[in-house]
Amino acid sequence: FGMETGLRRAIESEALTLHFQPICDLATGRIVSFEALARWTDEQGVCLSPDAFIPVAEESGLIVPLGRWAMDEAVRTLAAWNDAAGKPCDVRIAVNLSAIQLQRDQIPSMVRAALDRHGVSSNQLTLELTESAIGTDPDHVARIMTALKDMGATLAMDDFGTGYSNLAHLQRLPIDLLKIDRSFVSGMLADRDKLAIVRAILSLASALGMTTIAEGVEALDLAQRLAALGCTQGQGFLFGRPLDRDRAYRLMAERN
């Protein structure tokens, strides 16, 4: 219960923040979006990873207020960037949605309210879902995704290849972006099996008309190889670590 109480307080205070990791076009290096990643600095000043607290948030139901906070904070950030630029920035922010959140919250109306509150267009927003989030109740998730898509948001399948990889879901759901999991990407230059899996995912995405994002791109030779294989975008330490709102804005201003 210790962590749950701490997390409840963190959602209501400044202890929870969003960091923003750039996602770049592999051909041009241009930043096309940022993934919003939650960070929690606890009472001892220790920065906790979402891998540690998202499961606690899911088990306790706190994922609903946490998810609402993350959506509001991401859209608020877009509004601040648009304000600073004097026009809508040509980047999106990608927000993660968890499986439990999809079951427990009214996602489309929650997203709509955040966009309206801050005067931001849905075309600046991407929602990331994992395969496991779909697996729990595919029909329910399909309705949510269709509503978000109709609203004008972009939809991404996160960590692709690590879940059940139900290809029927991929075909049936209005998914725009496929994120290739870091576990396949990072070792692919040294491991023929990983390379084969990455090629297969790229081929599948291309056949289904989806854009691809390789996760865990840490080196230039890897980025070049991915581009040559037809991968569209990359995310990883080569392009940038997750940054706070102001640093992310400055990176975008100097790079784009």
Max alpha carbon distance in the chain (Å)? 50
- The DSSP result for 223-239, as a single string, is HHHHHHTT--EEESTTT
Q: What is the torsional sign of CA 51, 219, 130, 167?
A: negative
Closer residue to Na ion in complex, CB, 179/225: 179
How many alpha carbons lie under 13 Å from residue 223 in its C-beta half-sphere? 18
126 binds, among ligand G, Mn ion, Na ion, none (CB under 5 to 8 A by kind): none
234 binds, among ligand G, Na ion, Mn ion, none (CB under 5 to 8 A by kind): none
Q: From start to end of the chain, where are the E strands?
A: 16-25, 31-41, 47-48, 92-96, 125-130, 154-160, 177-180, 211-214, 233-235
Interaction between residue 248 and ligand G (CB under 6 A):
no
Interaction between residue 158 and Mn ion (CB under 5 A):
yes
Interaction between residue 242 and ligand G (CB under 6 A):
yes
Query: Where does this chain touch ligand G (CB under 6 A) — which range of 2-10, 110-118, 190-198, 215-223?
Result: 215-223
d(CA 25, CA 28): 6
176 binds, among Mn ion, Na ion, ligand G, none (CB under 5 to 8 A by kind): none
Closer residue to ligand G in complex, CB, 43/51: 51
CB of 37 to Mn ion, least distance (A): 8
Which residues, numbered 91-150, are part of the site for ligand G (CB under 6 A)? 96, 98
Contact status, residue 66 vs residue 38, Cβ threshold 8 Å? yes
Beta bridge partners of 31: 24
Phi-psi category of residue 209: left, alpha or beta, with phi > 0 → left and psi -120 to 50 → alpha: left
Lay out the site mask for ligand G across 6-25 (x = CB under 6 A, - = otherwise): ---------------x----
Applying CB under 5 A, the residues found at the interface with Mn ion are 96, 128, 158
Applying CB under 6 A, the residues found at the interface with ligand G are 21, 37-38, 49-51, 54, 70, 96, 98, 158-159, 215-218, 235-237, 242
